[in-house]
Structure 1
Amino acid sequence: MTSVKSVFTPVEADLQVLTENLKNLVGARHPILYAAAEHLFGAGGKRVRPAIVLLIARATMPGEEITPRHRRLAEITEMIHTASLVHDDVVDTADTRRGVPTVHSLFDNRIAVLAGDFLFAQSSWYLANLDNLEVVKLLSQVIMDLAEGEIQQGLNQFETDFSIEAYLEKSYYKTASLLANSAKAAGLLSDASTATCEQLYLYGRNLGLAFQIVDDILDFTASDEVLGKPAGSDLASGNLTAPTLYAMQEYPQLVDLIATEFEDGAALTTALSLVRSSDGIAKSRELAKHHAQLALAQISGLSPSDSRQALFDLTDYVLKRLY
């Protein structure tokens, strides 16, 4: 399988610079917050979101160098993503992320919440200093969407009337909004046409949805070691994702099991077995493939380049994570 690192070859050096800059942007005035941020930025993430910004910068300005504003946008994108993960881990009481201890498990919930708030505040300050109102609006919307997605997920725990459409909406808020709006913002900073910027938005939106659907499939098919968290944790916590929603259509008894909120561990074991034996995973794969293909269609008009090819390859990589 193609590795994400090889896909990002055109911006590999740019990503190395980004990692160092992220630590410097946080600053050392607050030792605990700095230690928390340094832990996060050194936690071995794939840097998918900033890589997309950098690839779009190169793809929309062929033959030119990435501008400082593009680099700062990539850094802001990763700061927003990281801040959201810190808060998610507190809400989910997760002890590990990407196989390493979470901020709240290393420090405590208070520091984790403050670290997330600090990163959101820092990203907002650097965002304002880009001096581009349209970009400020796009990334500010992302921060609102992240909160909306988390609220929707919390309010709909164990909600068996949850539809695939509602699931995709929540997935947009939690995952795809950041990819969609940062992709469009990168186009704006390149002075790309209005039509191109809208296509970049749709690329990020559909890639983000495909990415989230694949993540939700892996929660049922991958090992604890691969996931960096217990397999089946979404269903156990009442977060009903595409595989479960499709499986409920095939096995109505799943509805009754979910209604128990798995107070009996045997009910969870049975529910997981039903999802894994259903057509839900196959249908979810088709849904992810559909959105990956929609993403691919949006960037076919960009001038041929290594960076455009990497954006193509990324849609393929997202799907191949399943195999």
Structure 2
Amino acid sequence: MRLAQIVEMIHVASLLHDDVIDKSPLRRGAVSAPAAFGNKLSVLAGDFLLGRTSAALSRLGENEVVELIASVIANLVEGEILQLKAMHGEDLDRESDGQGARAAVVLGGCKEGELWKEIAYAYGRNLGIAFQLVDDILDYEAGEGTLGKPGGADLRLGLATGPALFAWEEHPELGPLIERKFKQEGDVELAREFVRRSSGVERTRDLARSYADKAREVLTSLPESDAKAALVVLTERVVKRTS
């Protein structure tokens, strides 16, 4: 439970920093921290949380867990840098999900060389990819009422995620918009229309389901338990979520 609290603190810190980088006015339907308190305080608040996280991690008394979670933080930062460079940081983010899951079983007593760490890593990584793909879908399907941020936020950041990339295969005219990162007036709206007229959202959802299925398949090696049943349910909820 303490590890879960620590990971959530890291998550909140990353959101504070993300809203500064993305210049987001909203977070879950409410005014974002940068909009309410300014960029400087938001960055400092995120840094403060990471500092408290480091102290809490050290008290766990498990060096491997500290190393794994430290790599998660590094991966998050690297992912943001890649995103700013218009490259794809998603693989690094999913690496973080796998490392976080691995840390949980290490803290639970798993020893070096045991299979459980690899099962945890594979589950976390596949589930994380499914989660992100659904996030990409919601950016097209939902407005402020669902995600708590304006629809098309990824496009305004110049990011072509799953639905747009699949739509590009069906509508080559989308290519120039992606290349110029949707910077011209009307690009965002036109790109959303191309996605709407394509099967991009459906194909992205199918891909999310396939990764959720992979996460569920990994669990077959685990003994039956309430915890395993909960992990199976989580693979279903990730794909069905609406926020």
SS in structure 2 of the partner of residue 300 of structure 1: helix
Query: Does the aligned pair in 1 maintain the 2:97–2:125 contact within 8 Å?
Result: yes
Question: Which deviations, in whole Å up to 9, do the C-alpha atoms of 1:239-280 show, x marking residues without a partner?
Answer: 111111111122111112334544443332111100121121
- Rounded to whole Å, the distance in 2 between the matches of 1:260 and 1:302 is 47
Summarize the alignment of residues 236-251 of structure 1 with structure 2, pairs less than 5 Å apart. 236-251=156-171
Query: Does the aligned pair in 2 maintain the 1:181–1:201 contact within 8 Å?
Result: yes
Question: Which deviations, in whole Å up to 9, do the C-alpha atoms of 1:139-197 show, x marking residues without a partner?
Answer: 010001000110111101xxxxx6xxxx4xx22323x2343212111111112352011
- Rounded to whole Å, the distance in 1 between the matches of 2:95 and 2:17 is 17
Instruction: Please name the residue that 2:91 is paired with.
Output: 172
Paired residues in the alignment total 241
Q: Is 1:315 matched up with 2:217? A: no
Query: Does the aligned pair in 1 maintain the 2:127–2:215 contact within 8 Å?
Result: yes
- Rounded to whole Å, the distance in 1 between the matches of 2:152 and 2:208 is 19
Instruction: Please name the residue that 2:62 is paired with.
Output: 132
Query: Does the aligned pair in 1 maintain the 2:158–2:183 contact within 8 Å?
Result: no
| The one of 86, 94, 118 aligned to 2:24 | 94
- Rounded to whole Å, the distance in 2 between the matches of 1:190 and 1:237 is 40
Query: Does the aligned pair in 1 maintain the 2:152–2:188 contact within 8 Å?
Result: no
Instruction: Please name the residue that 2:12 is paired with.
Output: 82
Instruction: Please name the residue that 1:229 is paired with.
Output: 149
- Structure 1-normalised TM-score? 0.71
Summarize the alignment of residues 108-147 of structure 1 with structure 2, pairs less than 5 Å apart. 108-147=38-77
Report deviation, 1:229: 0.4
Letter in 2 for 1:177: E
Summarize the alignment of residues 1-323 of structure 1 with structure 2, pairs less than 5 Å apart. 71-156=1-86, 167=88, 170-174=89-93, 176-192=94-110, 194-321=114-241
Query: Does the aligned pair in 1 maintain the 2:159–2:181 contact within 8 Å?
Result: no
CA distance 1:109–1:322, shift in 2 (3 Å) = closer
Note the aligned Cα RMSD (angstroms).
1.7
- Rounded to whole Å, the distance in 2 between the matches of 1:101 and 1:202 is 36
Query: Does the aligned pair in 2 maintain the 1:77–1:178 contact within 8 Å?
Result: no
Which one has more relative contact order, counting CA pairs under 8 Å at least 6 apart?
1
Query: Does the aligned pair in 1 maintain the 2:160–2:178 contact within 8 Å?
Result: no
SS in structure 1 of the partner of residue 115 of structure 2: helix
Percent identity of paired positions between Structure 1 and Structure 2: 43
Letter in 2 for 1:321: R
SS in structure 2 of the partner of residue 129 of structure 1: helix
- Rounded to whole Å, the distance in 2 between the matches of 1:322 and 1:117 is 30
- Structure 2-normalised TM-score? 0.93
